Amino acid sequence: MTSVPLEELDDAALLAAHVAGDAAAFGVLFTRHRERLWAVALRTMGNPEDAADGLQDALVAAFRRAGSFRGEAQVTTWLHRVVVNACLDRLRAAKVRRAEALPEDLEDRGLTLVGPAGTDASPDDGDPALASVRRERRDQVVAALRTLPPEQRAALVLVDLEGHSVAEAAAVLECAEGTVKSRCSRGRARLAPLLAPLMQSEDVGDPAPAAGNRPAGGHVGSATPPRGPPAG
């Protein structure tokens, strides 16, 4: 046990304190990274119900397997790996992709078509017609992501939406960097025809997402996805 307040410990020290028997340490660690872990689970699973189940599976696994952490990677990388693996396990077990309702609290960071809690992210959010168009476009992007094989979806979520580097994504997915690049490339190629109508509507003058956030080019979202936890 440690006399230092848990909130002042770094991630590795919190995990070590949990392994040593501190009953509160893991909760502090999870709370610290909750928003990012939830975002990864939500985008990978595609709906809040399955994301909650996947995240719960991951937290149970991380809680029980904390003693296996050897410090080869950052604790956050390890946590992301556990969450992604738990979500992929559920996706593989389901073997069927369903078209569930879009979660209202999805933060399309990197897409920025709709803001937090289902609010419109543009300065024209007082216009119901514009808000409807933006919601429809968000639906199209998220529905397109759901059509990808789990491994491609996970790679795109980490690189294009969460803003991880290829190296970081490779560490999370426990595969070679070339594999991550290949999965992202194939995923973007599969998304391109699905998102073509959305981009064509922008080209003829329909209300468009914020500059730099069109789902075109090298990334699903923007050329340089933002970093850091999603806004609450």
Separation of alpha carbons 140 and 137, rounded Å: 5
**Per-residue pLDDT averaged across 78-92, rounded?**
93
Q: According to the model, what pLDDT value does residue 213 have?
A: 36
Mean pLDDT lowest among 5-19, 85-99, 139-153: 85-99
Which residues, other chains included, contact 118 with Cβ-Cβ below 8 Å and sequence gap of 6+?
Answer: 104, 105, 135
Give the confidence band of 118 by pLDDT, cuts at 50, 70, 90.
very low
**Cβ-contact 121, 138 below 8 angstroms:** no
**Per-residue pLDDT averaged across 51-55, rounded?**
94
Compare 152 and 196 and report the one with higher pLDDT.
152
Q: CA separation (Å) from 150 to 15, 73, 79, 92, 222? A: 29, 23, 18, 7, 21
Is the confidence at residue 208, as pLDDT, over 70? no
The residue among 14, 11, 127, 223 whose CA lies nearest residue 2 is: 14
pLDDT, tens digit, 9 for 90 and up, residues 140-176: 777 788 889 999 999 998 998 788 999 999 999 999 9
Asked whether residue 231 is domain-assigned, the answer is: no
Q: According to the model, what pLDDT value does residue 120 have?
A: 35
**Mean pLDDT of the chain, nearest integer:** 75
Range of the domain at 125: 102-226
**Per-residue pLDDT averaged across 124-130, rounded?**
67
Q: According to the model, what pLDDT value does residue 136 have?
A: 78
Is the confidence at residue 113, as pLDDT, over 70? no
CATH assignment at residue 78: 1.10.1740.10
Looking at the fold, whether 94 and 130 belong to one and the same domain comes out as: no
Looking at the fold, whether 107 and 94 belong to one and the same domain comes out as: no
Looking at the fold, whether 156 and 65 belong to one and the same domain comes out as: no
**What is the domain count for the chain?**
2
